[in-house]
Structures are given as structure tokens and as C-alpha cells.
Amino acid sequence: MIIPAIDLINGKVVRLYQGNYSQKKIYSTCIEQYLEECSVSGVKSIHIVDLDGAKNPDFKQYKILKSIISTYIDIHFQVGGGVRTEKDIDMLLSFGAKKIVVGSLAITNKTLIEKWLHTYGTETIVLALDIKINGKKEVCINGWQDNTGIILEDVLEYYIPFGLKYILCTDISKDGTLQGSNIQLYKEICNAYSNIAVQSSGGIGSLHDIYSLKQTGVKDIIVGRGLLEKKFTISEAITCWQKESYLA
């Protein structure tokens, strides 16, 4: 499905360019109006990232997250950004969040993620795996600043026995560019791991990008800047996803 993305800094909608906080664009978008448009257009799920919480766990935007999630009960929210403890997860779930996105911990604290998959269920935990292509799919962590040298496939193989079901995979070089997604990347992942529901993220700049991604087998497409900058509407994106063929 199409999942609109909302990234928040100090309560404002922003987009970062390739994850760089110093290259952020602040939008005048009214969150409530945007969410209402999503709801009316039939959006089933929204992806929210608390960029303040991701940068500093002491500055989580719990107040606004609670207001958003508890107001739009017809939409399933998946939330990420600064999720480091069970307290964080419990808080977000108490607001009504349906999925919790965790990133760096999937690499730095595997035992904890194993526990969370068991405690909260594989329908709840989404692993955000950010990829830098260096001949291989290398996972980056800590806001994409650190290249672990660990290969994506190795991470998936590790967690599959623990029931891993959802991953959100981003090609860092594509994020925030509007220049199209890494179609080959998602083809390879979906073909090799058909039991994992793959969410793609990064680079969506046109309806053709959406249709091309659908052909790879991804379950969901996270769309941020393309919607905020009105390259296409939410309704157009959903219609494109539902089409069996695409005419440019």
C-alpha cells in the first residue's frame, strides 16, 4: 500500500536530504489538514518519524505524537525515531500506534530486538535497515553516519528464525532526492525473502516510480517529499498502486 511519511522536528513537518539534519527543508504544511486529506483519500497507514527523539532521546515529541495518533483512529500509525527502550514502545503503543520502527538497535543490540519480537509480536516490530551500496548492501546506523560493514542479507538471515516479518529498507543515496528508487535493490530483496514484507523508502518523485516499485514485490511504499511537494496527490498515488498497468 501507499504509506505517507511525516517527519517531525519541533512539531513541524520537515524532510532531510539523505538523512542530513543540516540539510532540512521545513514545510508550511498543517499536520491536521494533511492527516485529514490522508483520511479522506483512504490512506490506511501513515509513517511518522520523530527526528528530535532520534537525535536526542531526551527530546521526544510525545505530546504531538499522542495528539495525532489518538485523533485519527481510522489510520494505522507506524512510529520511529529514538525508540531505544521498552518504555518507549509501551508509550507509543499506549497512544494507539500499531507498528514500532527500530533502526540502529537491530545491529548494536540483537538480543534486545529478539526479545521485542517475542514480547510485542512480529506484527508490531519493523526493522529499519538503511543501506549504502558499495558493491554489497551495507547497513548504516546512527543517522546513517556509521557504516557497519554488515551486509543486509546477514541481518535478515539472523532475524528470520525469530519471526522477522517487516523491514523498512532505504537506499541512503536515494532518500529525499525525488530521483527514483533503487528498483534493483528491492527486486533482489523481495525475490530472495518472499516471507518478509518489504517497505521501500526514498526517491519517489513520480507516479511511474510508484508503479515500477510495485513490480518488484514490495508490500508498501513510504512516500514523503513527493507528496509534500505535490508531485502527485495522495489519491493519485493510491490509484497508481492499485493499477495493473501504467500509462505515462
175 tagged catalytic: no
* Burial readout 173-193 (b: 16 or more C-beta within 10 A, e: otherwise): ebbbbbebbbbebbeebbeeb
* Active-site pick, 130, 175, 209, 220: 130
Q: C-alpha cell of 133?
A: 551500496
Angle between helix 110-120 and 152-159 (nearest 10): 50
In angstroms, the CA 70 to CA 134 distance is 42
User: CB–CB of 44/220 below 8 Å?
Assistant: no
58 tagged catalytic: no
Q: What are phi and psi of 31, to 5 degrees?
A: -55, -45
Catalytic site residues?
7, 130
